[in-house]
Amino acid sequence: DAKTTQPPSMDCAEGRAANLPCNHSTISGNEYVYWYRQIHSQGPQYIIHGLKNNETNEMASLIITEDRKSSTLILPHATLRDTAVYYCTYPPSGNTPLVFGKGTRLSVIA
């Protein structure tokens, strides 16, 4: 199974940047890293994915280290609605399904 390590919880002040780290030291060279989040009582929501270059979309930015062993999801101006569990994952190998760990519970505080 794909192994990722994320801190169990983090706090962030509203309006500040939230930086969520993920370690994926066993990722191979052609596997993308995917980030999802799950707001309480809702289904998970796709955020962003990347291979080696930094990526940005309307929701977040993804910074992947040059050795690809870790990444950071950045929410530039966190709001209360960003309070959720954030999952970092990658497909273990070939055409296999994503494995979701326990993720990071982000609490955005007013």
Query: For binding to other proteins (CB under 8 A), which residues are involved?
Result: 32, 34, 36, 42-46, 49, 87, 91, 95-102
* Residue 19 to residue 59: CA distance in whole angstroms: 13
- Compute the least distance from the CB of residue 42 to other proteins, in Å: 6
* Residue 61 to residue 64: CA distance in whole angstroms: 10
User: Which lies closer to other proteins via its Cβ, residue 26 or residue 45?
Assistant: 45
* Residue 11 to residue 72: CA distance in whole angstroms: 15
- Compute the least distance from the CB of residue 101 to other proteins, in Å: 7
User: Which lies closer to other proteins via its Cβ, residue 77 or residue 102?
Assistant: 102
User: Which lies closer to other proteins via its Cβ, residue 82 or residue 90?
Assistant: 90
* Residue 49 to residue 33: CA distance in whole angstroms: 5
Inter-residue contact 44 to 34 (CB < 8 Å): no
- Compute the least distance from the CB of residue 87 to other proteins, in Å: 8
User: Which lies closer to other proteins via its Cβ, residue 41 or residue 66?
Assistant: 41
User: What is the three-class DSSP state of 42?
Assistant: coil
